[in-house]
Amino acid sequence: MRDYVEKLISRGEMRVVEREVDPRHELAAVIKRSQAESDLPLLFRKVRGTAMPVVSNIYGSRARLCEMIGADDGLFCRRWRALMQGMKPTSPDFLARAAPPAGLREGRLSDLPQITYWERDAGPYVTSAIYLAREPDTGVANLSFHRSMMVGDDELRIRLGSTHDLTGYQRKAEARNQALPAALLIGTAPEIFLAAAASLPYDTDELSAAAQIRGAPIPMRPCATIDLEVPADTEIVVEGEILPHVRLPEGPFGEFQGYYVPVGDNHVFRVKHVSWRDGAIFHGLLCGSPEDVRLLQATIAARIYAALVDRVPGVIDVAVHAALFGTVVKIRPQYDGHARHVALAAVGSHMDYNKAVIVVDEDVDIHDLHDVWWAFLTRGRADARTTVIADVPGFYRDPERDHWGRLLIDATKPRGREAEFERRRIPGEEAIHLADYFAPPRG
């Protein structure tokens, strides 16, 4: 992460905050306000109560996500599919042995920034936490995000989703009355962050996946107190174990849907060791903000895209919106009812999320919901192009069934009347630089 942060600073693509900020609400408020007007990342150099600077919003831009995986044409889904298609589940060649970085420091959890994000959060949380653990039987490595409540120097409380691989590992260990060793990685190279965000098959080793995205082995160093190796250039590593048969209250916490998740009895991570590189930078991620959802949206869109191109023709790109629940598919229509086939296939491609699927023509910007909605409202009837599928679950954590049901919308031009819906344009508009036309303010 540090190399990437330095690259962004040198390109003038980092908002640097020199004044001291309070980690309780002020830091989060600045991130939120900054994200409302710009997708630039932020570096807070002075955070009260800690020596560590905090970086945020690194992953909050689609252009940067494309850059990270070499999608030079801006088509994240297509490039991601190509990376996944050639991927080997695992190989020892993907990892390299490295010595611990010079000047590795040891300390306590309370040395890290204690960031409280939302008003009713139970306390400070680590939100960019990537848990690295190995499958108890096969040793396959998994990387996954689980926000963690900081309870004291020895304890974090974490919420494991029922469908997550780490939850499966923990269940296996617990059935043997064993704790599950895990290392919490804060501030990793982008490839590791991307591999952690993706839901890859259970047998795919996500460290190997990260190495294949990078195109080079990942240098690993041993942990001090648990039998695991961690990427050597990780800024901060918290070693410990998830305790068996222990659940304690965690939350409330303001999370990605825009509401507070209430207190629940969740897993306990016993901290055994905390270390960081000299000059470590902490990564503070505002949950539900563009940094959180853009990446998740991109990886979900890529998964839907990969399923669609194998099943239906004419699919160009996929975008996911609105806290992950809306999918937009761009197609080149080829036959009557084509858009409906695509919408149905999209729903069947991912059992969670895609609560509403909207299919649009090639000339619509699928990343702009205003444009998508314009296409639906101007290109035909509302009633005849909308299909409701009732009584289908849509999200793995939904006790009240708020996410049941699906809405399919065909927002493409009416077949045979395409010429009437040619989008108007002004030649040369894209090349205009407004600053060349306006006089500087007088005085």
Ligand X SMILES: Cc1cc2nc3c(=O)[nH]c(=O)nc-3n(C[C@H](O)[C@H](O)[C@H](O)COP(=O)(O)O)c2cc1C
Residue number, 56 or 412, with CB nearest to ligand X: 56
Q: Is 257 in the site for ligand X (CB under 6 A)?
A: no
The minimum distance between CB 9 and ligand X, in angstroms, equals 22
Sequence-ordered list of residues with C-beta below 8 angstroms from that of 436, at least 6 positions apart, any chain: none
Among positions 404-423, residues that touch ligand X (CB under 6 A) are none
Q: What is the CA radius of gyration of the chain?
A: 23
Structure tokens that stand for 227 in this block: 């039998």
Query: In whole angstroms, what is the distance from residue 175 CA to residue 93 CA?
Result: 32
Compute the CA torsion angle 295, 297, 298, 300 (nearest 10 deg).
120
The minimum distance between CB 168 and ligand X, in angstroms, equals 8
The minimum distance between CB 160 and ligand X, in angstroms, equals 7
Structure tokens that stand for 181 in this block: 């060793």
Per-residue x/- track, 172-211, ligand X (CB under 6 A): ------------------------xx-x------------
Residue number, 144 or 275, with CB nearest to ligand X: 144
Residue number, 126 or 339, with CB nearest to ligand X: 126
For residue 69, give the nearest of 185, 195, 184 by alpha carbon.
195
The minimum distance between CB 335 and ligand X, in angstroms, equals 36
Judge contact between 174 and 167, C-beta under 8 A. Answer: no
The minimum distance between CB 158 and ligand X, in angstroms, equals 8
The minimum distance between CB 12 and ligand X, in angstroms, equals 25
Residue number, 52 or 186, with CB nearest to ligand X: 186
Per-residue x/- track, 71-90, ligand X (CB under 6 A): --------------------
Residue number, 183 or 312, with CB nearest to ligand X: 183
The minimum distance between CB 379 and ligand X, in angstroms, equals 33
Do strands 42-44 and 54-56 pair parallel, antiparallel, or not at all (unpaired)? antiparallel
Residue number, 119 or 203, with CB nearest to ligand X: 203
Residue number, 31 or 409, with CB nearest to ligand X: 31
Neighbours of 234 (CB within 10 A): 26
The minimum distance between CB 139 and ligand X, in angstroms, equals 16
Among positions 331-360, residues that touch ligand X (CB under 6 A) are none
Among 109, 213, 285, 329, binds ligand X (CB under 6 A): 285
The minimum distance between CB 203 and ligand X, in angstroms, equals 12
Sequence-ordered list of residues with C-beta below 8 angstroms from that of 383, at least 6 positions apart, any chain: none
Among positions 114-173, residues that touch ligand X (CB under 6 A) are 142, 144-147, 159, 161, 164-166
Residue number, 8 or 197, with CB nearest to ligand X: 197
3-class SS string, the chain: CHHHHHHHHHCCCCEEECCCECCECHHHHHHHHHHHHCCCCEEECCECCCCCCEEECCCCCHHHHHHHHCCCCCCHHHHHHHHHHCCCCCCHHHEEECCCCCCCEEECHHHCCCCECCCCCCCCEECCCEEEEECCCCCCEEEEECCEEEEECCEEEECCCCCCHHHHHHHHHHHCCCCEEEEEEECCCHHHHHHHHCCCCCCCCHHHHHHHHHCCCEEEEECCCCCCEEECCCCEEEEEEEEEEEEEEECCEECCCCCEECCEEEEEEEEEEEEECCCCCEECCCCCCHHHHHHHHHHHHHHHHHHHHCCCCCEEEEEEECCCCEEEEEECCCCCCHHHHHHHHHHHHCCCCCCEEEEECCCCCCCCHHHHHHHHHHCCCCCCCEEEECCCCCCCCCCCCCCCCEEEEECCCCCCCHHHHCCCCCCCHHHCCHHHCCCCCCC
Residue number, 269 or 376, with CB nearest to ligand X: 269
The minimum distance between CB 197 and ligand X, in angstroms, equals 4
Residue number, 305 or 376, with CB nearest to ligand X: 305
Q: Which stretch binds ligand X (CB under 6 A): 28-36, 112-120, 218-226, 290-298?
A: 290-298
The minimum distance between CB 135 and ligand X, in angstroms, equals 11
Residue number, 271 or 293, with CB nearest to ligand X: 293
Binding site for ligand X (CB under 6 A): 142, 144-147, 159, 161, 164-166, 196-197, 199, 285, 292, 295-296
